[in-house]
Amino acid sequence: MKKLLIVILFFVSVALTASAQGNHVDFVEKSLKTNNTGMMVLGGWALANMAYGAYGWANFDGQQKYFNQMNFFWNTVNLSIAGIALYNNFSTDYSLVSTEDILSNHLKTERILLINSALDVGYIGTGFLLRYLGTKSDKRTELLRGYGNSLILQGSFLLVFDLAFYAVMHSISVQYNSQVSFSISPRFYGLNLAFRL
């Protein structure tokens, strides 16, 4: 009877291991695909802003010139962030990374997105401050108002982007964490099978 119980536990553990691996693979694929999609959206926004920003910087005067100039400068940073993230995602062999590390990186991305959302509000506020200071300046009115308008636009886009990106990433981690996980460890009196919901 004891041997039969051990055989049954063995087959149950094999089935649960296969299920857990399937859940792990599904989580990794969703996390990576979402991250790549987010970085492509950010990179696309950056390229469009840099292209039009360079055009506007060269062809407009006054407030419009400075608006486009700041859009160009700002999005060189966005493009760098997106490019580095995509390079890392495509050059990493995630089959060699543990579930714990992937989940940890996923949750770290969520925290960064929330921090960025707070910073985005600061960018928008700084934009309004620059616009206000532009009304008080005799020499730099056009520059301050152009830069201010750019910060309001860029901060608003990033706020929407970061919050939407966070919501999708968080739903993936909640779904993964709500699934059953288990561990099997040897004990001196047999096997210990633990479940977590």
Q: Tell me the Ramachandran region of residue 172: left when phi exceeds 0, alpha when psi lies from -120 to 50, beta otherwise.
A: alpha
CA 33 to chain centre: 11
Helical ranges in the chain per DSSP H: 2-59, 62-91, 99-136, 141-177
What's the 3-state SS for 19-44?
HHHHHHHHHHHHHHHHHHHHHHHHHH
Compute the chain's Rg from CA coordinates.
Answer: 25
Write the pLDDT tens digit of every residue in 86-109: 999 999 888 788 878 888 999 999
> Could you state, in order of their start, the residue ranges of all structural domains in the chain?
26-179
Tell me: the pLDDT tens digits for 157-187? 999 999 999 999 999 999 888 764 555 555 5
Nearest alpha carbon to residue 130 among 114, 139, 141, 121: 141
Residue 26 binned pLDDT confidence (cut-offs 50, 70, 90): confident
179 token code pair: 């699934």
